[in-house]
Amino acid sequence: MTLAPDIIELTARARADLRMGVPVVIGSSLILAAETLNETRLRALQITGTPLVLAITDWRARTLKARAYDTDIARVVVPEDAPVDWITAIADPADDLNAPMKGPLQTLRDDGATDARLAIQLTKDARLLPAAVVARLDAPREYAASHSLTMLDADALEKTYSAPSPLHPLVSARLPLEVNEAGRLHVFRPEDGGEEHYAIEIGQPSRTEPLLTRLHSACFTGDLLGSLKCDCGPQLRGALSQMGTEGQGVLLYLNQEGRGIGLANKMRAYSLQDQGFDTVEANHRLGFEDDERDFRIGAGILKSMGFSKVRLLTNNPAKIAMLEANGLEVVERVPLKVGESRHNSAYLATKAAKSGHLL
C-alpha cells in the first residue's frame, strides 16, 4: 500500500508541468515542451554542454524539408548556441511564409527515438504544439530527484497510450431542453485526469432498439459563438432537433476541440488558413494529423449506457468505422447536411475531398 502516484497520475502531473514550462523526465531523457520553453532553462541546459535535439512530427518535418529517419517523427539537432527563437521557428509555422529558409536541418537516425516519440504524444495531450526539446541523461532518476522533476517510465507510459482511459459515470440529472423537455445530462470523467465528456439523453430510448445518436466534438467557436467558418453549431442544433422530433436519442458531447488539437492550436490553424492553406494543410504544417480525435471514447460511453446498436447522425465514415471496430453495430447512417455558407464552403469541400466526408 502506497500513497505515491501511479503512472496515470504521474502522466497527468507531467502534462501540467509541460504546460507551465517545467521539464519532465521520460525514460532516460529530459523533456521540455518547445512552446513553453524559456531562455533561462534553455541556457541552463546549454551551459552543461548536453547535446539537444528538437523532436517534431513527420508532418512538420515535411514542411521544413527535414529527414524523418524515425518515420513518424524527426529529431532535429539543435545548434549549441541556438536561442529560444530558433526553436520556436522550427516548432511553430506561424512565420513560415515570411522566413521559409530554416535549414538545412540535421536530423538523427539512430535507434533512440522512443523517448522523443512519447514526448511528442505528451505535448499533444497537453494541447501544446507537438514539438519537444530532448536531452539524453546519464542518470535520469538521480537527475529528476535532484531537480524535483516528474519522472515517467517509458515502458509504462507507452502502455497507457495503447488504450483509451477508462471513463466513469460521475453524475446525471434531468435537464429539460428546448427541443424536448424529457432531457437528461450525464457526465463522464476519465481516470487519466483528462477532460470530462457528456451524454445528452433525450426521452427514454430503448436499449434493445437502434439508437439515434451523434458523436459531436466540442467547438467553442461554432457551438457557442455561432462561427461561420464551420458547420458545427448547425450540426449540434440540428441533431438535437431531430432527436427532439423523434422523442428519443443520445448526443455525445466530446471535449475534443479542433478535431482533437485544442482551441489554441485550432486558432493557429485558422491563422494559417488566412495565409491560404486549407484546413488539412494547416493541421499538417502545425505537425498534427488530419484528425487527432479518439472516437473510442464515444463507443465506450454508449456501451456503458447499455446501447449496442445505433443510427448514427454523421457525414464522417471514420466515426462509423471506429464505432463498429469497438463493438457497436451501426445499422444506419443518418445524413446531417446543415450549415453550409459562403464562409465555410471551401472548408466543407476540403473535408469531403481529403477526409472522406459524405457531403
Specify whether the CB–CB gap between 102 and 90 falls below 8 A: yes
Specify whether the CB–CB gap between 172 and 184 falls below 8 A: yes
Residue 303 one-letter amino acid: K
Is residue 233 within a helix (H) or strand (E), and if so which, with residue range? helix 232-246
DSSP state letter for 224: I
CB atoms near residue 215 (< 10 Å) = 26
Specify whether the CB–CB gap between 118 and 158 falls below 8 A: yes
Give me Rg for the CA atoms of the chain. 22
Place of cell 521559409: 100
Among residues 259, 293, 333, 342, the one annotated as catalytic is 293
Residue 50 one-letter amino acid: T
By three-state DSSP, how is residue 351 classified?
Answer: helix
Apex 266 CA angle, 279 and 358, nearest 5:
40
Q: Is 291 a catalytic residue?
A: yes
User: CA-CA distances (angstroms) from residue 118 to 126, 131, 150?
Assistant: 12, 11, 15
User: CA-CA distances (angstroms) from residue 261 to 10, 114, 351?
Assistant: 22, 22, 17
What's the half-sphere exposure (Cβ side, CA atoms, 13 Å) at 200?
A: 24
Question: Alpha-carbon distance 68 to 61, whole Å?
Answer: 6
Q: Please give the torsion angle defined by the CA atoms of residues 206, 207, 209 and 213, in that order, rounded to the nearest 10 degrees.
A: 90
List of residues 6+ apart from 153 with CB closer than 8 A: 7, 27
CB atoms near residue 176 (< 10 Å) = 10
Q: Is 81 a catalytic residue?
A: no
**The three three-digit cell numbers of residue 137, written as one number:** 541523461
Among residues 136, 290, 291, 296, the one annotated as catalytic is 291
Specify whether the CB–CB gap between 157 and 111 falls below 8 A: no
Catalytic residues: 291, 293
